[in-house]
């Protein structure tokens, strides 16, 4: 219900007299409305330079970057933010901003397969499957992990319809071969969210790049480690893996438009195949 608030009525003769007296005083003291030019305002003296407007504060890119980085660090290091996220009740270790952008990519690419390295509890696989099902009736998610912690996810109907679980290392030759056998040349998109070391992610990039066709993507998650902008000390991670991969593979470019929402955990992490 809309609550209407009625203004108290101020009226009566003594009040009106007070208002008139106050207006007279205000005008007499020069504090009234500014007269418009031509109404007796003293203009600038003949030949004098017009008064300069104070400079508007311009965009301070460095300060903006610092603010965003601080926000990412605060968000990433908190135990009360992304770590508690769930999708359909399943723990989902995703930054919702990046998940939103990934959703946009899935919609655009409409891949037959999303190959995800790093299942954990299966929340992200459940999320990707939920989106993929809307845009590709044949779409499937293949998710890979070294441990099986996704029992609850397996009870979710969309997971039962759409998700295949592989147990093993995402860089194990047998797992890579099994993924390629299942994809069988159909269009895939890849999301890397397993072990966030440079060596492992670079191996994943090399292993799964061949299943990604032109126009599709590899999403390399969590490039934020090691000074990007999370503190150094982690050692080279996904960010460094991407830089090394791009040196040796000119078929992919970093799509920085996918970082437009600013609060990304995946700097340089949205790789689009261009040739």
Ligand X SMILES: C[S@@+](CC[C@H](N)C(=O)[O-])C[C@H]1O[C@@H](n2cnc3c(N)ncnc32)[C@H](O)[C@@H]1O
Distance, CA of 106 to CA of 84 (rounded, Å):
24
Binding mask 185-224 for ligand X (x = CB under 6 A): --------xxx-----------------------------
| CB of 209 or CB of 251, closer to ligand X | 209
* Nearest-approach distance from CB 226 to ligand X, in angstroms: 16
Residues 63-92 interacting with ligand X (rule: CB under 6 A): 92
DSSP helix/strand/coil, 21: helix
Give the C-alpha distances (Å, rounded to integers) separating 218 from 5, 141, 213, 245: 56, 14, 10, 12
Q: Does 271 bind ligand X (CB under 6 A)?
A: no
Q: Helices (DSSP H) in the chain: which residue ranges?
A: 13-28, 61-77, 96-109, 123-135, 157-162, 173-183, 198-208, 238-248
Q: Does 267 bind ligand X (CB under 6 A)?
A: no
Q: Does 95 bind ligand X (CB under 6 A)?
A: no
Residue 207 token pair: 């292993």
| CB of 60 or CB of 148, closer to ligand X | 148
* Nearest-approach distance from CB 266 to ligand X, in angstroms: 12
| CB of 130 or CB of 170, closer to ligand X | 170
Distance, CA of 146 to CA of 119 (rounded, Å):
9
Query: Closest residue (Cβ) to ligand X?
Result: 124
Q: Which residue has the tokens 């723990």?
A: 91
* Nearest-approach distance from CB 246 to ligand X, in angstroms: 22
């Amino acid at each position: 219900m809309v609550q209407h608030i009625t203004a108290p009525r101020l009226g009566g003769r003594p009040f009106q007299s007070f208002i008139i007296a106050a207006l007279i005083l205000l005008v007499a003291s020069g504090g009234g409305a500014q007269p418009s030019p031509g109404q007796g305002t003293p203009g600038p003296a003949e030949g004098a330079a017009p008064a300069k407007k104070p400079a508007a504060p311009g965009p301070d890119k460095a300060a903006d970057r610092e603010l965003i980085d601080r926000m990412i660090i605060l968000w990433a290091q908190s135990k009360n933010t992304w770590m508690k996220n769930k999708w359909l009740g399943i723990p989902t270790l995703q930054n919702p901003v990046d998940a939103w952008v990934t959703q946009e990519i899935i919609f655009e690419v409409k891949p037959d397969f999303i190959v995800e390295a790093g299942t954990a509890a299966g929340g992200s696989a459940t999320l990707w499957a939920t989106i993929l099902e809307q845009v590709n009736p044949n779409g499937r998610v293949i998710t890979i992990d070294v441990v099986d912690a996704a029992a609850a996810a397996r009870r979710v109907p969309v997971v039962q319809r759409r998700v295949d679980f592989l147990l093993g290392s995402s860089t194990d030759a047998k797992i890579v071969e099994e993924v390629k056998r299942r994809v069988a040349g159909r269009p895939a998109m890849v999301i890397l969210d397993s072990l966030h070391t440079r060596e492992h992610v670079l191996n994943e990039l090399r292993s799964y790049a061949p299943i990604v066709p032109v126009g599709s993507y590899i999403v390399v998650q969590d490039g934020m480690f090691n000074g990007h902008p999370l503190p150094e000390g982690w050692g080279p991670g996904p960010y460094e893996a991407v830089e090394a991969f791009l040196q040796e593979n000119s078929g992919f470019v970093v799509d920085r438009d996918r970082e437009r929402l600013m609060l990304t955990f995946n700097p340089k992490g949205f790789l689009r195949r261009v040739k």
